[in-house]
Structure 1
């Protein structure tokens, strides 16, 4: 995808990385997706061993996953001689369901178990706040641009992408690190909407830029053509999903036959999505079946899955990917991406 074929102001995904049940980094994730083996927990993940002891004493698991995902992205870009600038021009936008449920529950429990309600581990208070992982990540890597956390459940990753799009369009940032993170814990399992679905965990981060600020030599992986979000008000959530997919395709001036890959996370709705864009496109991406319920990270993992698969298939070049979500409250979202495809 050359600079002459992309809209000057549209968001462009130019790099990505992940901390996933397949291990640390982009290559581990791509290899795991390629094997198609289910996995649900990030293996052997100990925050202080992965990130070192300096500054990590109070990190909870969600914070450790977020910081590690961004570290992997920055390190991989530097290794490819395409370093990502930090400082004031770089925003960080993370999606979440409600932050770390485990940390919040533990902190609340301490207020009941102590001699006095205020006998709580004050040093752990940042972990109770849903923006704790984003704040810790920005501090560690000198990300001085806008720092935002969006609680949106299954749609969290797409809401983060839409927020970053607005930041870039308004000139509030030159680039944005966009992702989502969810930890696996007993507390989250207790709160799960679908207790029969295996819980997954991890974090994925995208580098989002525009053609106006794209550094020389940076390769475009995908272009965000459209993003639509809506809430079901007719007590027919699958109809809301269908409407948001159709409207997103219309915004992209695209037709279903152009869709190479499609995925929906949250509530099971693959059949409805397949009826809109074709069974083959939906079968190509099985992120939820591989990783389980990864909450707000599910849509970002769907994006990284599509990008990993597109890298290996020249037929993906110029085709579209539909990334959708639907939660039990009827919040539906859909993004349409145009893929560069081809070997890296």
Structure 2
């Protein structure tokens, strides 16, 4: 393999902490969506990361003022880096980059500061430790500090499509030589503040089903000697669409991505469709669809990374995936979309396509 490759991944998801919990949840075909009795937003169902408390997962140091989305991202990074000595060696230190997708950072942190400006004696009498959390790139910065990532540190906003935007940016870092490895993914928090925002912004007849979490990939510019490869990243194609034309635009995006890569629809092993897309038909083929939002809720900026994780988890179990291609499609309500193509090695853990 000469294209960038994925050599590891992690997930902190509504299925639990770690990639094993995510892979087991996806394989079981279960849904992590629930309707807690104490959730205050009317008619809303949610999929939280079960039992996630930052101080318990990450330890007390540095977590007192850490917001939830930063804690989820830091936990996912720690899980990936702790999976093996080689992963930590490859993904930390000089020229080890982090690219994190987001919707708008932490909505709770921003609303807390806004609330303080109205309720305190003076508008500038805000709780100062919260200020860094209200900045969109706070989560990526805290991950870099905690885990010794000294290369480029980038936050990319794009809602549900943010993970694919981040992947495209990560590929550019590798191809330009600005990084020797990249941790790439997306993170989203589930809080009552986000719940109320989605409640008022959404369709009252279709209440939101919100999820949260973070998933990260370890990207390297080529297959490392003697190390297993999970998938080759063939490319990422991005685009926009008009209202009411999402599905047609996604089909067009997939067709363009396949044409650029010189791949036919018959080469597709599976597709992870965008929310609301339904079954994907292309050139007379209908590749099997992998689980999506119905399993983990609307995970916002973590949605596309969760889709990629589900591809990697399913490919490990399915012999039919070997040597073939998977497509991940994503679209956001702000009219942006993307398609990423991944080639699965012919042999599990192989370093050859």
CA contact (8 A) 2:8 2:87 kept: no
Residue correspondence of structure 1 range 10-159 to structure 2 within 5 A: 10-39=3-32, 40-78=47-85, 83-159=89-165
CA contact (8 A) 2:268 2:287 kept: no
Between 140-149 and 235-244, the greater mean CA deviation after superposition: 235-244
CA distance in structure 2 between the aligned counterparts of 1:237 and 1:279, rounded to whole angstroms? 18
Q: Classify the secondary structure of the residue corresponding to 1:307.
A: helix
| Residue in 2 that maps onto 1:322 | 327
| Residue in 1 that maps onto 2:231 | 222
Residue correspondence of structure 1 range 197-216 to structure 2 within 5 A: 197-211=208-222, 214-216=223-225
CA distance in structure 2 between the aligned counterparts of 1:137 and 1:263, rounded to whole angstroms? 28
CA distance in structure 1 between the aligned counterparts of 2:303 and 2:217, rounded to whole angstroms? 13
CA distance in structure 2 between the aligned counterparts of 1:127 and 1:109, rounded to whole angstroms? 15
Between 59-68 and 306-315, the greater mean CA deviation after superposition: 306-315
CA contact (8 A) 1:13 1:206 kept: yes
Give the counterpart of 2:318 among 313, 317, 328. 313
- Stretches of structure 1 lacking an aligned partner (at least 5 in a row): 1-5
Supply the RMSD in Å over aligned alpha carbons.
1.8
CA contact (8 A) 1:110 1:120 kept: yes
CA contact (8 A) 2:91 2:182 kept: no
Change (3 A) 1:75 1:277: farther
Q: What is the deviation of 1:199?
A: 0.4
| Residue in 2 that maps onto 1:295 | 300
Q: What is the deviation of 1:219?
A: 0.9
CA contact (8 A) 1:25 1:72 kept: yes
Between 53-62 and 230-239, the greater mean CA deviation after superposition: 230-239
Q: Classify the secondary structure of the residue corresponding to 1:270.
A: coil
CA contact (8 A) 1:15 1:77 kept: no
CA distance in structure 1 between the aligned counterparts of 2:162 and 2:87, rounded to whole angstroms? 31
- Stretches of structure 2 lacking an aligned partner (at least 5 in a row): 33-46
Could you give the per-residue CA deviations for residues 63-94 of structure 1, whole angstroms, max 9, x where no partner exists? 1000000000000133x787434111210000
Q: Classify the secondary structure of the residue corresponding to 1:53.
A: coil
CA contact (8 A) 1:314 1:341 kept: no
Could you give the per-residue CA deviations for residues 103-161 of structure 1, whole angstroms, max 9, x where no partner exists? 11111111111000011111111110111110000000110100000001111000000
Q: What is the deviation of 1:236?
A: 2.2
Change (3 A) 1:225 1:81: closer
Q: Classify the secondary structure of the residue corresponding to 2:90.
A: coil
CA distance in structure 1 between the aligned counterparts of 2:283 and 2:96, rounded to whole angstroms? 37
Between 327-336 and 156-165, the greater mean CA deviation after superposition: 327-336
Q: What is the deviation of 1:286?
A: 1.2
Give the counterpart of 1:170 among 176, 181, 188. 176
CA distance in structure 1 between the aligned counterparts of 2:243 and 2:58, rounded to whole angstroms? 47
CA distance in structure 2 between the aligned counterparts of 1:22 and 1:139, rounded to whole angstroms? 27
Q: What is the deviation of 1:234?
A: 7.7
CA contact (8 A) 2:269 2:324 kept: yes
CA distance in structure 2 between the aligned counterparts of 1:14 and 1:100, rounded to whole angstroms? 29
Change (3 A) 1:341 1:305: farther
| Residue in 1 that maps onto 2:240 | 231
Change (3 A) 1:209 1:73: same
